[in-house]
Amino acid sequence: MHPYFSLQGRTALVTGGTRGIGKMIAKAFLEAGATVYVCARDGEACAQTAAELSAFGTCHGMAANLASEEGVQTLAAQLAEKIDCLDILVNNAGTTWGAPLESYPAKGWEKVMQLNVTSVFTCIQQLLPLLRKAGNAASPARVINIGSVAGITSHGEDAYAYGPSKAALHQLSRMLARELVGQHINVNVIAPGRFPSKMTQFIAQDEAAMAEDCALIPMQRWGREDEMAALAISLASTAGAFMTGTIIPIDGGFHL
């Protein structure tokens, strides 16, 4: 791997790292030379993922419930016992909720906002000491928040809280990028379109639905794992050292 994109000697945490986009990014970071911690609510899934990804580098699993402030605080405390600094934080954990407009429940709205916005803020807040120790002028620490083109477009698919939650995350990321740049911490957003994940498997498993979905994408296909991996490595490596406050759609042109 070219030195511009090497993550050798870096330590990363990927929330929601046991499947989908989080797992893609965790694997990519390992291949680039980083030590990676993946966390999710399911401790068994964390252990299984860490064992699987250890074929590509040093990977550890940590069970964590990010749906509450206490859960995030526990994760931060446990991580601080294991590492001295955190070079890369990927806030990927998220959720959605779909229902017709007339019956969309308040509990669905609250759950989506809590995990997609509030818990991301709390993760950054609680992990700031480790991020500050990692960052310097030559190589800032990196926060990569996983937003969505749903936060850019108006294509809602009855998931009324999801798009607004991602739009809020995009704005939060810009605010934090401005505030933390002087502390040598970069904050950027990857805003994916369609990629294989648990959230999208109901489409991928239906041939007609898949064809209809791809017809809405200018490139006429979903994103691939290597494409997500390459973008994430770029933001985490020298390639992203002079970038902060950016929101990068990776969606085959869907946001157009």
Q: Name which of 200, 140, 154, 148 is nearest 169 in CA terms.
A: 148
Q: Mind giving me the DSSP string for 186-250?
A: EEEEEEE-S-SSGGGHHHHT-HHHHHHHHHTSTTSS---HHHHHHHHHHHHSGGGTT--S-EEEE
Domain ranges of the chain: 3-250
Q: How many residues belong to the chain?
A: 256
Runs of H (alpha helix) within the chain = 20-31, 43-53, 69-82, 106-113, 119-134, 162-180, 201-204, 207-215, 225-236
| pLDDT for the residue 198 | 73
Residue 11 sits at φ, ψ, to 5 deg, of: -120, 135
What is residue 184's three-state secondary structure?
Answer: coil
In DSSP terms, which residues pair with 248 in a beta bridge? 190
Q: How far apart are CA 107 and CA 180, in angstroms?
A: 33
Return all residues near 171 (Cβ < 8 A) that are at least 6 apart: none
Alpha-carbon span 49 to 63, nearest angstrom = 12
Tokens of 144: 């990569």
Whole-structure pTM value? 0.95
pLDDT for 108 equals 97
Task: Write down the pLDDT at residue 180.
Answer: 98
Considering only the C-alpha atoms of the chain, give the largest distance between any 2 of them, rounded to a whole number of Å: 54
37 counts as catalytic: no
Encode the chain (256 residues) as per-residue pLDDT tens digits: 788 999 999 999 999 999 999 999 999 999 999 999 999 999 999 999 999 999 999 999 999 999 999 999 999 999 999 999 999 999 999 999 999 999 999 999 999 999 999 999 999 999 999 999 999 999 999 999 999 999 999 987 789 999 999 999 999 999 999 999 999 999 999 999 999 877 777 787 888 888 988 999 999 999 999 999 999 999 999 999 999 999 999 999 999 8
Neighbouring C-alpha atoms within 13 Å toward the C-beta of 142:
30
Cα(209)–Cα(203) distance, rounded to whole angstroms?
6
Give the per-residue pLDDT at 86. 98
Nearest to 13 by CA among 134, 174, 167: 134
CATH 3.40.50.720 correct for 3-250: yes
Q: What is the pLDDT of residue 101?
A: 95
Q: What is the C-alpha separation between 148 and 36, in angstroms, rounded? A: 23
